[in-house]
Each structure stands twice: as C-alpha cells, then as structure tokens.
C-alpha cells in the first residue's frame, strides 16, 4: 500500500507541514506495510499517482486530483486534505471512482478567523501605506489618515456562515459593528444569540462596508465575486478573502483595486502556489499575503492529529469519523460542499 504526500521543502524554518517533518508520518507509519512517498510540488504527482492508495496534501500547497489523475489512479481510495477544503479534488471524479475525500474540520478555524479580523483592521486603517512610509523614510501623515477608518459603526457582511464565519463574527462583535451574513443554509438559532442579521446576497454586497468571504469553493461559488458583483459594492469597500482564491474573479479584483473601487486583502490565490507573474502581485494597497492563515503552529498540530486519526481508521479498516468526510460511498456527505444547482 502506498501513501503519496505533498509537503513543501523548507528553507530555514521547519514546520510540521514540511517535507522534513511530514506531519510525523514517517514515525507513524513505521513498522507498517505502508510505503510513504513525499513530493514537494504538484508537478511530481503524475510520476506517482498511478500506484497510490492514499494522497495527502494541504490546501496551502495542494496536489490537484483532477479527473484525468483520478482515472489514472486505479488504486486510489482516500484523498486527505491536511487542513480544510476540497477544491483541489474533482469531487465528481471522486464520487464516480469511489474515492473517499476527507478534511480536518476545526484544525484551523480559529487561526483563519483571527486572520480575517487582522486583514479587516489592516485594510480599514490603511496600515500598508503607513508601513510603506516608515520603511521609505517618509512622513506624509495626511496621505495615511485620509484613507484610514475606524472599525466602530461599520457594517460587516460575512459570506459563508459556517464554523469559521461564526468565529469571525464572534471576534468582530466587540468592535461595535453591525453584523450581517449570507449563507445557503440560514442559521436562525444563532442570529439573536450572536447579534447578526441574515440578508440576501445582493443586500450583503450592496450595504456592507466590509465583506468577508468565508465560503467553500464549489460550483456555486466559483467566480461568485465577479465584475458585476464588485460594481454593486460601495466605493471603498474592504473585501477580505481567506477562503479560496477561486471564489473571486482575478481580473475583476485587479481592476477594482487599481481603480480604487475596493481594497482587497487575504491570503488565498488561484492557482497555488501563485506564479511569479500572477496579476495580483503588482497590486497596490492590498493586504495580500501568501496562504498561511491556517498554518499557525497550533493549527499544524491539530492537522497532524487529524490526519493521523484518519489514517488509523483507514489502516484498521474501520469507518472514518463522519465529521472528517466530504465524499464517501460515492456521494457528498458534507452539507457545506453540496451545490444548490
């Protein structure tokens, strides 16, 4: 039995999600019949996928399991996301081929929620311009202050109100903002409890001063924030995306940021890793970083624990805990990944 795992090769700092540490899998699989092959780029997947029984990769540096690769992977039974998300796996192909797709729910919920709040504050307060001046030896206070805003009193709309969306709302509430959300599954029981209002998508887009994307990437949400949607936003809207890069239209974001229509921040790109000449790399006044919001030291520890628990069940031929599953027995089992069309 063969396990194929994709982890980045580190330069100086070592982490659990790295080729060197590999989530402790080398030690975990010791004295088993499982052969672990570690690769460091998606390009290497085709060299090993044919004989793999299990594929493990993170959303930060994914192994893309396309239909073509699923067809080639005659032995593939399990694809594990070392983190949260499934967009690097063709779910239709997984359903057709009977490949179980699993993630580690809860592993980085708090980590990403904190990043959402940080990105919101950085963009509202025009932090990047202030930092740029500090680094450049300038002291043009009006240039910073003219675009700096308080959080208090702002309307914050959350697109996608799952676990991370809820944690984000809870952390924003003390800032005395008006909270609203849109999700295909309304959560009435949380609205009074959390002081948040449900609105339709158009209302969320048109009335929010800050829009935080916290939805999975599905057929329904791919390129959801296109030019038409962005044009409906208030001038100067802060758009934060620590969910998936494919939920926004790349060219529309660039145009809107460059024209001053919106400020955009987050840590997700498409594809990942983003190429050197990615359109967003040259944007000014954004809070973009590499995809690291869910890669805190604590999150990686939770990811390691979850991956090893899934593998323990798989190796023992026991059912994988339902909360880990996205696709199982030829169907989508997780409500978050079920499309509405």
Residues taking part in catalysis? 108, 244, 272, 291
12 class by beta-carbon count within 10 Å (0-12 exposed, 13-18 middle, 19+ buried): exposed
Radius of gyration of the chain from Cα atoms? 21
Q: Please compute, for residue 228, the number of CA atoms within 13 A of its CA located in the half-sphere on the CB side.
A: 4
> Sheet holding 331-332: strands in order across?
35-39, 2-6, 54-57, 78-81, 100-102, 325-328, 331-332
Q: Report which of 204, 205, 224 is spatially closest to residue 216, judged by C-alpha positions.
A: 224
Residue 57 bridge partners (DSSP)? 6, 81
Backbone phi and psi for residue 72, each to the nearest 5 degrees, phi listed first: -75, -30
Are residues 9 and 62 in contact, defined by beta-carbon separation less than 8 angstroms?
Answer: no
DSSP symbol at 106: T
Backbone phi and psi for residue 248, each to the nearest 5 degrees, phi listed first: -110, 155
Backbone phi and psi for residue 332, each to the nearest 5 degrees, phi listed first: -75, 125
74 class by beta-carbon count within 10 Å (0-12 exposed, 13-18 middle, 19+ buried): exposed
End-to-end CA distance of the chain: 38
Which SS3 state, helix, strand or coil, does residue 172 take? helix
């Amino acid at each position: 039995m063969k396990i194929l795992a994709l982890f980045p090769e580190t330069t100086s700092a070592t982490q659990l999600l790295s080729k060197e540490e590999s989530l402790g899998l080398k030690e975990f699989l010791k004295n088993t019949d499982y052969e672990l092959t570690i690769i460091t780029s998606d390009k290497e997947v085709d060299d090993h996928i044919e004989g793999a029984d299990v594929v493990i990769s993170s959303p930060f540096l994914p192994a893309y399991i396309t239909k073509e690769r699923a067809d080639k992977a005659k032995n593939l039974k399990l694809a594990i996301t070392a983190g949260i998300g499934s967009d690097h796996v063709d779910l239709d192909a997984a359903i057709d081929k009977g490949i179980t797709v699993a993630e580690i729910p809860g592993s980085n919920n708090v980590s990403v929620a904190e990043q959402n709040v940080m990105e919101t504050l950085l963009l509202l307060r025009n932090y990047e311009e202030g930092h740029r001046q500090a680094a450049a030896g300038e002291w043009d206070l009006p240039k910073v202050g003219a675009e700096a805003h308080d959080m208090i009193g702002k309307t914050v709309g959350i697109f996608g109100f799952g676990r991370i969306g809820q944690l984000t709302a809870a952390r924003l509430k003390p800032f005395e903002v008006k909270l609203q959300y849109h999700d295909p599954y309304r959560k009435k029981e949380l609205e009074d409890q959390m002081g948040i209002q449900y609105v339709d998508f158009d209302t969320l887009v048109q009335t929010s001063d800050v829009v935080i994307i916290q939805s999975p990437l599905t057929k329904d949400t791919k390129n959801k924030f296109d030019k038409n949607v962005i044009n409906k936003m208030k001038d100067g809207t802060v758009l934060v995306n620590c969910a998936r890069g494919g939920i926004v239209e790349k060219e529309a974001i660039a145009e809107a940021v460059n024209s001053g229509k919106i400020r955009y921040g987050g840590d997700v790109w498409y594809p990942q890793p983003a190429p050197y000449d990615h359109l967003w790399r040259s944007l000014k006044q954004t809070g973009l970083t590499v995809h690291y919001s869910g890669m805190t030291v604590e999150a990686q520890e939770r990811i390691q624990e979850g991956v090893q628990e899934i593998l323990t069940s798989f190796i023992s031929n026991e059912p994988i805990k339902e909360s880990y599953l996205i696709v199982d027995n030829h169907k989508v089992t997780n409500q978050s990944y079920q499309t509405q069309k």
